[in-house]
Amino acid sequence: MSGEKLNPFSRSLRCILAMFAAALVASTALADSRAPVALPPPPTYADLADLADGTPLVIRAQPRKIAAVEPARARGLRPGWGRFYVEARTEALIAGSAPLGEALRYLVDLPLDPKGKPPAFKKKSVVLFARTVAGRPGELQLVAPDAQLLWDAGLDARIKTVLRELYAPAAPPRISGVREAVHTGGELAGAGESQIFLVSASGEPAAITVSRAPGRAPQWGVSFSELVASDTAPARDTLAWYRLACFLPPALPGNANTSPGDDDRNAAVQDYAYVRAQLGPCARTRR
């Protein structure tokens, strides 16, 4: 990361890791005798995809020592949360190719109970979404301050499903908006087709097609290739669904609607709204 401008969380990581290493023995009693803290709801598909997309390392680890960071040194900390320095033991590399030793160190933000205590996670398995820190063996920077999840077999299976989709050769690219939408009316009243061309981060083609015919519900599908058209809508909680439901604008931008007449323009707006309704909300539990 040399040459990058460090964000407050990154700067906090650099200065605090060394300071807390010597104080861990006195601080590890933090997780031993306290009332349980209500755990956050299970992560949604979108939560896992947000964390995994483009992340260099996904690691299963076991925290062994934990120390609270003084709030004055935890810049950017959200209200009701605490920042913690963790020393952990590597259990498995779920994804990534960077060499890892057995000992890991990192900072993580966690919600606090009314007594100011975090959820108990010492000596439990956790999943980390992280990157290594250049020149600091064993030191990790989480891709987000809260990018640590309590591990269980079900979560492990869900993460691996997301990773398989992300690493697939024909994985849908990231979508950032709508480039153009055009509706063409059919010969019969109520018939027609809208083509909605999307903006992808990679520049690869991506388009939604909505077809209407009298007496039947609209049919729609998405294609992430100029060679393969599709009239099949993506299933919920898949990468194709996530790319659309979580990143398309809520309404068709007016400047993207190039349909020739008012009727066709209105039809394109309605078809886009139909697709958004079919996709449903992009549920997230993480802020």
pLDDT digits (tens, 9 = 90+) for 214-229: 989 999 999 998 755 6
List, by residue range, all CATH 2.40.50.120 domains of the chain. Answer: 8-167
Q: Tens of pLDDT along 88-144? A: 999 999 999 888 999 999 999 999 999 989 999 999 999 999 999 999 999 999 999
**Domain boundaries 8-167, corresponding CATH code:** 2.40.50.120
Which residues does 193 contact at the CB level (< 8 Å), separation at least 6? 183, 184, 186, 209, 210, 211, 212
Instruction: Copy the structure tokens of residue 133.
Output: 């820190």
Q: Can you tell me whether residue 140 is helix, strand or coil?
A: strand
Beta carbons within 8 Å of 79's beta carbon, 6+ residues apart: none
Kindly state the helix (H) or strand (E) to which residue 270 belongs, with its residue range. helix 262-279
Whole-structure pTM over 0.75, yes or no? yes
Give me the residue label for tokens 């891709």: 143
Phi, psi of 210 (to 5 degrees): -120, 125
Q: Give the model confidence (pLDDT) of 150-182 as tens digits.
A: 999 999 999 999 999 999 999 999 999 999 999
Could you give the CA distance from residue 212 to residue 85 in angstroms, rounded to a whole number?
A: 57
